[in-house]
Amino acid sequence: MANDDQWQREMQRYLAHFNRAGKRPTILFSPNLQPSPVWTPAMDIYETDSALVVLLDLAGVDATRTEVHAEPHLLVVRGMRRERDSAGSTEEERSYHALEIPYGRFERRVGLPAGLDTSAARASYRDGLLEITLPKRVARQVPVPLQGAAHSR
């Protein structure tokens, strides 16, 4: 019975979405209740001598509400781009000529190579680009003490 109620609420949400003039279809349905990503941001990845750098195109995304998780072999970036209201009323009828900017939730997962220090990852957001820098681990010289050097005589 609860499943029927969920589907009914989902259908009402769907119909309300399309009853508003000029609204485009951005609702995705799924059998689970977890919101699924709607779009995937463009990404560049490059490597320097000291780090791996991941650059994501997140124009219009609130950086303070964007999650960045750096794990030993995986980088996950999640967030949402909200549709911008026009300067006038939000109920104003719109006639779109182009609809190319994706809105809604996003998630980007990037497999990371070995040898990165993910605990020292840094992120910055400027001009609509999120830059995540993952420094490479510095090889550590391990001293090898000579055992029994004084005893060899």
**What's the CATH number where 134 sits?**
2.60.40.790
Residue 28, domain member (yes or no):
yes
The residue-averaged pLDDT of 121-150 equals 90
Residues 68 and 109 reside in one and the same domain:
yes
Measured distance CA(109)–CA(102) in Å, rounded: 18
Residues 120 and 69 reside in one and the same domain:
yes
In this predicted structure, the answer to whether residue 150 has a pLDDT above a threshold of 90 is no
Reading across the β-sheet that carries 122-126, which strands appear in turn?
A: 43-47, 51-57, 129-135, 122-126
SS3 30: coil
Residue 93, domain member (yes or no):
no
Q: What percent of the chain clears pLDDT 90, i.e. is strictly above it?
A: 50
Q: In terms of residue numbers, what domain contains 4?
A: 1-35
Q: How far is CA 76 from CA 45, 56, 69, in A?
A: 14, 12, 5
Residue 76, domain member (yes or no):
yes
Of the candidates 66, 58, 106, 61, the one whose C-alpha atom is nearest the C-alpha of residue 83 is 61
Inter-residue contact 27 to 37 (CB < 8 Å): no
Residue 149, domain member (yes or no):
no
Residues 6 and 46 reside in one and the same domain:
no
Residues 66 and 130 reside in one and the same domain:
yes
Residue 67, domain member (yes or no):
yes
pLDDT score, position 114: 93
Residues 65 and 26 reside in one and the same domain:
no
pTM of the complete model beyond 0.75: no
Residues 45 and 29 reside in one and the same domain:
no
Structural domain tally of the chain? 2
Residues 77 and 117 reside in one and the same domain:
yes
Instruction: Decide the pairing of beta strands 122-126 and 67-71.
Output: unpaired
For residue 106, count CB atoms less than 10 angstroms from its CB and return exposed for 0-12, middle for 13-18, buried for 19 or more: buried
Residue 150, domain member (yes or no):
no
What would the pLDDT profile of 34-43 be if each residue is shown by its tens digit?
556 789 999 9
E runs forming strands in the chain: 43-47, 51-57, 67-71, 74-81, 104-111, 122-126, 129-135
pLDDT score, position 69: 97
Residues 19 and 45 reside in one and the same domain:
no
Residue 71, domain member (yes or no):
yes
